[in-house]
């Protein structure tokens, strides 16, 4: 990476914006040779990061933010697409917005989620992107006529020094021990809640409710972000792996196989994942198939009116995550007209895979039986670009790290044929997705 190239670009920018009236985005991109894990190791805990590793091996690491967009409702989330920016750039790569939203945007963030925004999307100040073994650095800065060239050069040099610093060697990292602190609800409460929900389904129009639980553990020390990144990518390469720091003491982490929506111009892909078992034969029983069908029917209902082409296979595949099996249907198609990925996201989430059916009735049961805040668990995380394309996933198999506490979320879909004990065992199994990181080899 050369300062000369950036300096030349900056000179051209300042010649162009002598009489600038409104702020603009300065965007400079250059190919680099670096190790993302090394960069993550170099980053101070004081710096905010956002990390996303997609199943297609596309990977992003954002540091700090130049733009931060918050939303407190689905309407506000949808309005984010209306933000436009004048950009001066040395390349034609698109402006990317990274972030996500909570499970219920109409509900206040409380308890461990206090001070975390309901929804937040950022344009990172520094973005390291890796795709097809090519790595690029993009520096993005919002400037106005009062922004001095010297201040930009100083800031750019600061981040480049962090990225290029090979003197910081990662010591042999010892993964922290964890101590169980709290289960909410307890085993017996969870069993009782499931049986009550089954009874509610039996005597009402309710068809399915996804009920979750939270497990709190105490960490003996802070988690290494670079070490966790490596672990998730190595052990769950077919999942969307992510780390978001809300501040130096709060990280939302996770690894999920469930894609809500991917949109590229008119073409879209959606993953229907519902039905779980530790046994490949059991995954194909009537209860799991019924649970899965709720999701595929929901997607069809939401997408068929806006699609010129909609492909939903009649028989689901089996997704093997090594420790658990899921029923999986890949839905694909084309929209009749141009859509923004945020439009489709809002139509789809939260799906019956994380909420239940019918929507309002299931949400009432979630609010009744869950005495904690889901926060971003079961919400959406991903990215979109200035053209309206993007990719979003459901943050299941997720947890919030707050100081030296880690709160892991898991849930199960309850239908009429559910068995409470089996559903508890299923949640225990799902916890292993992240808990296995703490097991010493």
Q: Per this entry, what is the length of the chain?
A: 441
Write the pLDDT tens digit of every residue in 306-352. Answer: 999 999 999 999 999 989 999 999 999 999 999 999 999 999 999 99
Q: With contact defined as beta carbons under 8 Å apart, do 196 and 393 qualify?
A: no
pLDDT higher than threshold 60 for residue 416 = yes
Q: Which residue has the tokens 């009735």?
A: 361
Q: What is the mean pLDDT of the chain?
A: 93
Q: How far apart are CA 316 and CA 338, in angstroms?
A: 29
Taking residues 277-299, report their average pLDDT.
91
Would you give the distance in Å from CA 141 to the centre of its chain? Answer: 24
Specify the pLDDT at position 169: 58
- What separation in angstroms does the CA of 317 have from each of 296, 328, 376? 13, 5, 28
Given pLDDT bands bounded at 50, 70 and 90, which one contains residue 3? low
pLDDT greater at residue 414 or residue 224: 414
Write the pLDDT tens digit of every residue in 251-262. Answer: 999 999 999 999
- What separation in angstroms does the CA of 106 have from each of 14, 24, 29, 123, 309? 44, 33, 38, 24, 33
Q: What is the chain's Cα-based Rg?
A: 23
Residue 216 in tokens: 């709190």
* Kind of pairing between the strands at 325-335 and 267-277: antiparallel
Specify the pLDDT at position 34: 80
pLDDT higher than threshold 80 for residue 2 = no
Taking residues 402-411, report their average pLDDT.
96
Ranges of beta strands (E only) in 194-306 are 208-219, 240-247, 250-256, 259-264, 267-277
> Cα–Cα–Cα angle for 73, 374, 317, nearest 5°?
95
> Cα–Cα–Cα angle for 310, 258, 269, nearest 5°?
25
pTM of this prediction?
A: 0.96
Write the pLDDT tens digit of every residue in 99-138. Answer: 999 999 999 999 999 999 999 999 999 999 999 888 999 9
- What residues form DSSP beta bridges with 215? 183, 408
Q: How far apart are CA 354 and CA 274, in angstroms?
A: 9
Percent of the residues in the chain that have a pLDDT greater than 70, as a whole number: 97
Specify the pLDDT at position 168: 57
Q: How far apart are CA 7 and CA 9, in angstroms?
A: 5
Summarize the chain as % helix, strand, coil (round to 5).
30, 35, 35
Nearest to 121 by CA among 160, 82, 163: 82
- In this structure, what DSSP letter does residue 392 have? E
Given pLDDT bands bounded at 50, 70 and 90, which one contains residue 421? very high
Residue 414 in tokens: 């309850």
* Kind of pairing between the strands at 59-70 and 405-414: unpaired
């Amino acid at each position: 990476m050369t300062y000369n190239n950036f300096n030349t670009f900056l000179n051209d920018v300042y010649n162009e914006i002598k009489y600038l009236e409104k702020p603009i985005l300065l965007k400079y991109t250059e190919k680099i040779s670096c190790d993302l894990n090394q960069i993550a190791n170099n980053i101070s805990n004081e710096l905010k990061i956002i990390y996303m590793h997609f199943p297609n091996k596309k990977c992003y690491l954002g540091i700090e933010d130049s733009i931060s967009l918050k939303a407190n409702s689905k309407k506000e989330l949808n309005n984010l697409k209306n933000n436009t920016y004048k950009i001066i750039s040395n390349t034609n790569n698109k402006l990317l917005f990274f972030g996500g939203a909570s499970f219920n945007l109409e509900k206040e963030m409380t308890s461990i989620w206090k001070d975390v925004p309901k929804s937040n999307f950022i344009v990172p100040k520094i973005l390291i992107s890796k795709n097809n073994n090519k790595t690029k650095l993009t520096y993005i800065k919002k400037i106005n006529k009062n922004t001095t060239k010297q201040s930009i050069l100083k800031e750019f040099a600061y981040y480049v020094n962090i990225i290029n610093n090979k003197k910081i060697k990662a010591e042999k990292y010892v993964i922290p021990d964890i101590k169980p602190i709290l289960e909410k609800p307890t085993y017996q409460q969870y069993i009782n809640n499931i049986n009550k929900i089954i009874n509610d389904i039996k005597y009402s129009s309710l068809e399915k409710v996804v009920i979750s639980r939270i497990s709190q553990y105490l960490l003996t020390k802070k988690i290494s972000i670079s070490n966790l990144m490596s672990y998730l990518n190595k052990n769950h390469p077919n999942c969307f792996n992510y780390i978001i720091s809300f501040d130096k003491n709060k990280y939302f982490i996770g690894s999920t196989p469930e894609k809500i929506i991917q949109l590229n111009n008119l073409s879209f892909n959606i993953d229907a994942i519902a039905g779980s078992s530790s046994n490949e034969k059991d995954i194909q029983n009537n209860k799991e198939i019924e649970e899965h069908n709720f999701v595929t029917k929901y997607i069809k209902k939401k997408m068929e009116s806006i699609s010129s082409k909609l492909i939903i296979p009649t028989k689901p595949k089996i997704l093997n995550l090594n420790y658990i099996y899921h029923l999986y249907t890949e839905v694909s198609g084309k929209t009749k007209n141009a859509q923004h990925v945020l439009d489709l996201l809002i139509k789809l989430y939260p799906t019956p895979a994380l909420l239940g059916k019918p929507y309002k009735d299931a949400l009432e049961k979630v609010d009744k039986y869950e005495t904690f805040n889901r926060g971003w668990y079961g919400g959406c995380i991903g990215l979109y670009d200035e053209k309206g394309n993007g990719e979003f996933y459901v943050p299941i198999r997720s947890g919030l790290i707050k100081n030296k506490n880690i709160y892991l979320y898991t849930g199960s879909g309850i239908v009429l044929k559910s068995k409470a004990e089996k559903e508890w065992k299923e949640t225990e199994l799902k916890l292993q997705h992240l808990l296995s990181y703490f097991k010493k080899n």
